[in-house]
Amino acid sequence: MLKKVAKIVTNNFGLKVMALLFAVVLWLVVVNIDDPMQTKSFTTSVLIENEGAIADMGKCYEIENGSNTVTFKVSAKRSVLRMLSNTDFRATADMSRIEDWARVPIEITATRYTSSVTFSSRTQYLEVSVEDLQTKQLAINADYEGTPAVGCAIGEVRVIAPNVVRVSGPASLVSQVDSAKASINVEGITTTITDSVVPILLDKAGNPIDTTKLELNVQTVNIRAEVLDVKGVVVNVAVSGTPKSGYVSMEAVCSPQTVSIKGPAATLNTVNSIDIPEGIVDISDASETVVQTVDISTYLPEGVTLVNDEDKKIQVTVAIEQIETRLIEIPTKNITVKNLSSAYQASFAEDTVEVYVRGLQSDLDKLNPDGIRVSVDAAGLTEGEHVLELVLELDEELYSTDGKQTVMLEVKEKKQQSDDSDDKKDSGDDSKDDGNDDAKDDSNGDVSGDASKKTTGSGSANDKLEDLTER
């Protein structure tokens, strides 16, 4: 069987091969002569025509899915199709022919072999979304970024021109626009500068808005940043009123105590402090610490502003403390008798005398009875017992006496010289002291004339307490 098959195949083998080759060549010739019709898909971009037609109707559109290409089928002879590419076709969408505000028919034409190609009869559409067109006009706010050189601060920053921008686009996007801003870079600058910058749109939260789908009538604006000098000054406050009776006010403290101001150098040279006037911080009838926040921006001189706007709120603190009274026993041996005639000697009836001193508790605690200088004025006294007013030499800014402070002084004529040694036992006076006192009186005049430097227990004590309270 195999031998018979092999004989059939190999019999006239050369003629058989030649017949096969001839058949292939004949098929190729027939195909080329016939050139059958074929169909092929092409893809090209859609060109938009008459866009203004949508705007004229108060509308705006957006291509759905962001794709403006169309794929279509073309039929032609194979020889023609082989010569065509995507660029040989033109697809257009006329927006004036929009249907149902949702789609626009696409017209496809060939730029080559126009008469040799045919298109699928199915109409292609460009899918679009349409919404109302909205326009909004905004003033462009000026701002800056960066930090100027040391010793400099930014003054006025303003948009020179144009200072208004008109935004047009879909109502859903334009409605999100809340403001427009132009920002200039001032990093390290020392002099006033002007620059051209691109304005940005912001929403209500201050976030930038993408302007890809919006139309702005200006692309850049000119902005100017002024550079000013800087100076540090102290903040002073004039406190009004007096605390409740029995209380005293301490020095007012401002926080911060100094602030930085900016302005032209000539103006800054005339400013050394910012003063809060009377009537703003009132401590009338206060019995506890008064804390008040004051806006100092209204007290800045003309042409001067704060470097940091947050510094305008100054906290003023006035401590109010109660006045206390302390009973102090002073040894009478420490009392100086002044202006006693040399013909007399004096002694005190008691070894100690009680005095009342008023002041802040912290100051009263510092008083040392042995360190208090006390004196009485014996001018014109004769023999006998006398009640004299004590004069206490205290710091009037810290202390006052509570009422009239007195002491009993006994005056006697001096005895013979032999008895002088016995008389020295008297605590109030001896001849040596009288001599010294007389010498002092002769050289210095009336010592009591220095009463302005001493605190007494007389009727002026209340006036001095008022001075202490006012402080």
- Note whether 306 and 262 are within 8 A (CB): yes
Alpha-carbon torsion, ordered 195, 199, 200, 202, to 10 deg: 110
| Tokens 């000054």 belong to residue | 233
> Percentage of the chain surpassing pLDDT 70?
85
Q: Is 60 exceeded by the pLDDT of residue 448? A: no
- State residue 171's pLDDT score: 92
> Percentage of the chain surpassing pLDDT 90?
50
- Note whether 304 and 271 are within 8 A (CB): yes
Would you say the pTM of this structure is higher than 0.75? no
Burial classification of residue 441, based on how many CB atoms lie within 10 Å of its CB (0-12 exposed, 13-18 middle, 19 or more buried): middle
- State residue 313's pLDDT score: 94
The Cα 48–Cα 106 span in angstroms is: 9
Radius of gyration of the chain (CA): 54
309 vs 32, which has greater pLDDT? 309
- State residue 121's pLDDT score: 74
Give the model confidence (pLDDT) of 191-235 as tens digits: 999 999 999 999 999 999 999 889 999 999 999 999 999 999 999
Q: What is the mean pLDDT of residues 53-58?
A: 88
Task: Mean pLDDT check: name the lowest of 57-61, 386-390, 457-461.
Answer: 457-461
3-class state of residue 397 by DSSP: coil
Alpha-carbon separation of residue 304 from 81, 267, 440 (angstroms): 80, 7, 60
- State residue 7's pLDDT score: 67
The Cα 1–Cα 244 span in angstroms is: 140
268 vs 24, which has greater pLDDT? 268
Average pLDDT, the chain: 83
The Cα 348–Cα 341 span in angstroms is: 16
Two structure tokens written together for 125 = 């559409």
- State residue 188's pLDDT score: 93
The confidence band for 33, taking pLDDT boundaries of 50, 70 and 90, is: low
Give the model confidence (pLDDT) of 297-312 as tens digits: 999 988 899 999 899 9
Give the model confidence (pLDDT) of 110-142 as tens digits: 999 999 999 987 788 999 989 999 999 999 999
- State residue 11's pLDDT score: 72
The Cα 143–Cα 230 span in angstroms is: 20
- State residue 22's pLDDT score: 82
Give the model confidence (pLDDT) of 233-258 as tens digits: 999 999 999 999 888 888 999 999 99
Q: Is 90 exceeded by the pLDDT of residue 368? A: no
The confidence band for 263, taking pLDDT boundaries of 50, 70 and 90, is: very high
Answer whether the bond into residue 256 is a cis peptide, omega within 30°: yes
